[in-house]
Amino acid sequence: MIKDITIGQYFPGKSAVHRLDARVKILLTIAFIVMLFIADDIAGLGVGVAFTFLTFIISRIPLKMMWKSVRPILIIIIITALLNLFFVHTGEPYFEWKFIKITDKGVETAVFMVVRIVCLIIGTSLLTYTTSPIDLTDAIERLLSPLKKIKVPVHELAMMMTIALRFIPTLIEETDKITAAQKARGADLETGSIFKKAKALIPILIPLFVSSFRHAEELALAMECRCYHGGEGRTKMKQLKLKLLDLWGTLYLCLFFAGVIVLNILG
């Protein structure tokens, strides 16, 4: 059951988007976010939308995943739209009744914000759809490595992330086992009010908590046995190398970015 959930929503594949270096992908995603925010008219935003859709199609991720990534924040999007609709009072009013006033500017801002947020979410989830968690942590470690100079424990953070990812399936399996064991002893997890259900989780969470400490202790020992002594003097088997593809990817984004800037100036 819960064993089947995917972590980090990674969709393995071989498309150009998948094959981009994870570091480049992270940087391009940041550039993409900047692009969405500097676009200040409909045409500029249109370029952003075009980029989002085109990249999604290139990645060959099922298009329904677009909807799936937006769904969890639908409420936030709706609230943002309504706030803009009712509280932007500049421009020509379409409709006025007592204190409610809807103007053309309000409608425009609302649509603008919705499109911007939706693109933002779809674009950034494409990063996690096309990059495996391990590549992602690796890339984050390398991108943040300059921060080591100011004593940020970059290696330790990346190690923690890797171990957390590694243990998610193990702990899920264990949760399944503990749940089954507690049910066998008559634990009632399904009925009652929400408070009762929350309380029923305690006999599952406590053994899980205890066992994760045991996992941690043994893992630390095993790591020590394999000569782990922090990030100092460590090498990596997989060297990330920039390929020609990464250059093309960067140029591809630059093209759209330039488009947005040009439209901004013209507009």
- Neighbour-count burial of 96, counting CB atoms closer than 10 A to its CB (0-12 exposed, 13-18 middle, 19+ buried): exposed
* By the rule CB under 8 A, 218 interacts with another protein: yes
With CB under 8 A as the contact rule, which of the stretches 73-81, 87-95, 116-124, 159-167 interacts with another protein?
159-167
Q: Is 106 exposed, middle or buried (0-12, 13-18, 19+ CB in 10 A)?
A: buried
177: contact with another protein by CB under 8 A:
no
CB 178, CB 207: distance < 8 Å: yes
Which member of 71, 104, 170, 176 binds another protein (CB under 8 A)? 170
- Report residue 33 as tokens: 């976010």
**By CB under 8 A, residue 163 contacts another protein:** yes
Phi/psi of residue 103, nearest 5 degrees: -115, 165
Phi/psi at 218 (5° precision): -65, -40
At closest approach, how far in Å is the CB of 218 from another protein? Answer: 4
| Closest separation in Å from C-beta 11 to another protein | 15
Q: Is 233 in the site for another protein (CB under 8 A)?
A: yes
CB of 71 to another protein, least distance (A): 27
Q: Is residue 105 close enough to count as binding another protein by CB under 8 A? A: no
Binder to another protein among 225, 244, 251, 266 (CB under 8 A)? 225
Closest to another protein by CB, 151 vs 214, is 214
Pairwise CA distance, residues 172 & 1, whole Å: 10
CA 5/CA 230 separation, integer angstroms: 32
**Residue 253 in contact with residue 123, Cβ under 8 Å?**
no
Interface with another protein (CB under 8 A): 133-134, 162-163, 165-166, 169-170, 173, 214-215, 218-219, 221-229, 233-239
